[in-house]
Amino acid sequence: FASPVPLGTPATVPIDYTTKSHTCTGAFLFDAYEQLIENKGLKESLIILTLFTPILNKDKQREETIATAKQSILRGLTTLQITDKNGKVVAKIPPLNGGDSENEIAILEMHMHRDMSQSQQLQGHFLGILIAIIQRKHKFSIEDLDFIFDNNMIVPDDRIEIIKHGLYLGLSGSYYAALHLLAPQMENIFREIARECGAIVTTYDATDHSEQAKTLGSVFELQELVDSYDENILFTLKGLLNEKAGANLRNRVAHGILDTSEGSRGVAIYFICLCLKIFSWYSDESYSILVEALEEQTP
């Protein structure tokens, strides 16, 4: 990897971390999206999709979660329970009482992941509409995604085909199947990025002299990775893949818990588009298209 810092961070490219405004609904929204890519080819349309895939700012999310807690008495008094579709409690979030202790900060971040997951659910709905329009306008094959993976700095050569297949499934509307390929591969990519940053990504057992890969949660907390990579992206991925208060996609996919309905909408679609966004930063051609798209938006 030439650089552990994404090409698309604010230091090099003015990526908008805020949510794009979606003020119209229904047929009007569909028409607005169609006009957006009316004269665009497939490559340009996919890059526009990434521009409509927001990465929330961690500090801003913290402020919004605290502000929401101040307006809601229940957040400071009751434990929030996250349940599955059968009503089973899968996670509990303690009351948010403020304070700067390590425990209170951990509780605050649980509330932040919950709030972000709810936002991503809505964002995924809008992104799904744009994907459907791209599908209707462009009949594309898996080979048409080569421009994202040619000379890509973070996708390992031996994983290109499986990751490209997962992305193709997602962009073709097979979101549930795409998750089962992209979630574990994104975990591997960031484990490798952490290693390239100088972090130790395995644990050593002195009793039997074996080494095991560190858990994904601990990888996202490795100081070498935190110091080298954008904190907004790390926090977003941590909630999407590994936090019970968030989407927890990686663990739910790995254990077969995620059902087809939930894995085919909302947060699942958002995650697939986020994968596309991150991959597009690291390929010369897709990055060039991104820069051109951003220049078109600049007054």
Q: Is the dihedral of CA 257, 263, 269, 275 positive or negative?
A: positive
User: Residue 263 gets which letter from DSSP?
Assistant: G
Quick one: CA torsion of 37, 273, 54, 112, rounded to 10 degrees?
160
Q: Is the dihedral of CA 284, 286, 288, 290 positive or negative?
A: negative
Q: For each of the chain's 299 residues, which pLDDT tens digit applies?
A: 334 344 334 333 334 433 344 444 556 677 888 888 889 999 999 999 999 999 989 999 999 998 888 887 777 778 888 888 888 888 899 988 877 788 889 999 999 999 999 999 999 999 999 999 999 999 999 999 999 999 999 999 999 999 999 999 999 999 999 999 999 999 999 999 999 999 999 998 878 878 899 999 999 999 999 999 999 999 999 999 999 999 999 999 999 999 999 899 899 999 999 999 999 999 999 999 999 988 887 65
Q: CA 212: distance to chain centroid?
A: 26
- pLDDT tens digits, 17-76: 333 444 445 566 778 888 888 899 999 999 999 999 999 899 999 999 988 888 877 777
The residues that bridge with 204 in the sheet, in sequence order, are 211
Those residues whose C-beta lies under 8 Å from the C-beta of residue 81, and which sit 6 or more positions away, are: 89, 91, 92, 93
User: What's the pTM?
Assistant: 0.89
